[in-house]
Amino acid sequence: MSHSTSDLPYGRVWNFAAGPSTLPVSVLEEVQRDLLNYKGHGMSIMEMSHRSKEYGKIIGDAEATLRRILNVPDNYSVLFMQGGGTGEFAAAYLNLFASKAVSEKQRRLGRQLSCDYLVTGKWSKGGLKEVARLGGKPNAVFDGVVSNTEAEPSVSYGSLPPVSSWKLGRPEETAFVYYCENETIHGVEMPSDLVLDAVDPSVPVICDMSSNMLSRPVDISRFGAIIAGAQKNMGPAGVTLVIVRKDLLERDDSDKEAIQRLPSVLDWRYFDKAGSMPHTPPTFSIYVCGLVFKWAEEQGGLEVLQKLREARAKLVYNMIDAHPDFFHGPVDKRYRSAMNIVFNLPTPELEAQFLADAAKRNIIQLKGHRSLGGIRVSLYNAMPLEGAIEFVAFMKDFYNEHHN
């Protein structure tokens, strides 16, 4: 087997982790320069007060840069929060039901509104379960794809059912529609327009974009709220980004029960009024996110990053498609993720050998999620095209050595 690997700076490896993920080397170099003495202020960014003028500029610049890149409309708030996607499962539900719009709609209906969930994998399923745990009425618009086999039906998260079969609630009875655009575990990516075109415009769409945010242009104006953990495309773990339409932050003060159920740490309006800093935020993580936003802008913005995302994914999928009996991709080609590519080899033994041989080539973090096994290749923004080329060269060498 060939061992021609590219020389990487600082003894680094090709890191295909699903998250926390690889970061741009230029960003890490700037962090390294600032770590002991941030811009001549005599202290590390990690030692700086979040109430200082210097840090106020850091978080302000981070938000301004993100707004430019994503073209965030003025009637949307950008919040830096904590708790990850799991925290936002609860936050989305609790904030929407504390909002004036939903409270009034529920009062007109005379009973509790339902919440529509499009379940395409573990993360959207987690959101549905959390709402049920909190006393909500989640409606599974669909829960995977049911296929009738000879013996019994089975559920797969490798595809999406046709829109005509979706069981969306009636708009006047629905508080919001929730979906995860890219399922990191199952390798399914749902096109935004597929959902947005199917949902009545009067119903807010809440989208978890944790693993494909900043990888392509998005029409923010069509969403009620977008949530995204930073640790895939935007920075280190510790920050959750929320972009929410401002009218959904308005409250009906007479609906005290809904407001009292909403903890301050998950309260979008509470964070909005305090500029994302009602208490000490994850200062270091937000600082790094701001550098990543600037890096993304310097690359040429989302149109350029989209081309790179498609080029990386095409290289890997072409190899999978060329040898489908060896590299078995379980995901419907129409909905294959450009961020997280999953496949299996003919035997578990070969998969173990694949991981071991890849590590010898400085290619790491390829093991599939513990719930599925197999191989998972995460191709986030900071992965250079050369990394995908190197990985495909390894795939080819491994195939030549081990296929029958």
Q: What is the CATH number of the domain that holds 158?
A: 3.40.640.10
Catalytic, 14? Answer no
End of a domain among 277, 297, 317?
A: 297
User: Same domain, yes or no, for 135 and 57?
Assistant: yes
Residue 267 lies in a domain: yes
pLDDT at 2: 44
Which residue is catalytic, options 232, 255, 294, 295? 232
Domain that holds residue 381: 13-24+301-402
For the chain, which residues score pLDDT lower than 70?
A: 1-6, 146-154
pLDDT at 152: 52
With contact defined as beta carbons under 8 Å apart, do 125 and 180 qualify? no
What's the CA gap between 339 and 182, in Å, rounded?
A: 8
Statement: the pTM of the whole predicted model exceeds 0.85: yes
With contact defined as beta carbons under 8 Å apart, do 363 and 15 qualify? no
User: Same domain, yes or no, for 326 and 272?
Assistant: no
Residue 37 lies in a domain: no
**Peptide bond connecting 346 to the previous residue in cis, omega within 30 degrees of 0:** no
User: Same domain, yes or no, for 162 and 270?
Assistant: yes
Q: What is the CATH number of the domain that holds 353?
A: 3.90.1150.10
User: Same domain, yes or no, for 284 and 315?
Assistant: no
Catalytic, 396? Answer no
User: Same domain, yes or no, for 124 and 160?
Assistant: yes
End of a domain among 297, 321, 347?
A: 297
pLDDT at 147: 58
pLDDT at 258: 79
Which residue is catalytic, options 14, 123, 268, 295? 123
Which residue is catalytic, options 208, 294, 295, 367? 208
User: Same domain, yes or no, for 107 and 200?
Assistant: yes
pLDDT at 154: 61
| Cα-Cα-Cα-Cα dihedral sign, residues 252, 253, 258, 263 | positive
End of a domain among 236, 264, 297?
A: 297
User: Same domain, yes or no, for 175 and 55?
Assistant: yes
Q: Which two tokens stand for residue 265?
A: 């740490």
Residue 69 lies in a domain: yes
Residue 42 lies in a domain: no
User: Same domain, yes or no, for 277 and 347?
Assistant: no
User: Same domain, yes or no, for 265 and 317?
Assistant: no
341, amino acid identity? I
Residue 8 lies in a domain: no
Give the start-end residues of each E strand in 184-234.
188-189, 205-208, 225-229
Catalytic, 332? Answer no
User: Same domain, yes or no, for 75 and 143?
Assistant: yes
Give the start-end residues of each E strand in 250-357.
340-343
Residue 281 lies in a domain: yes
What's the CA gap between 240 and 339, in Å, rounded?
A: 19
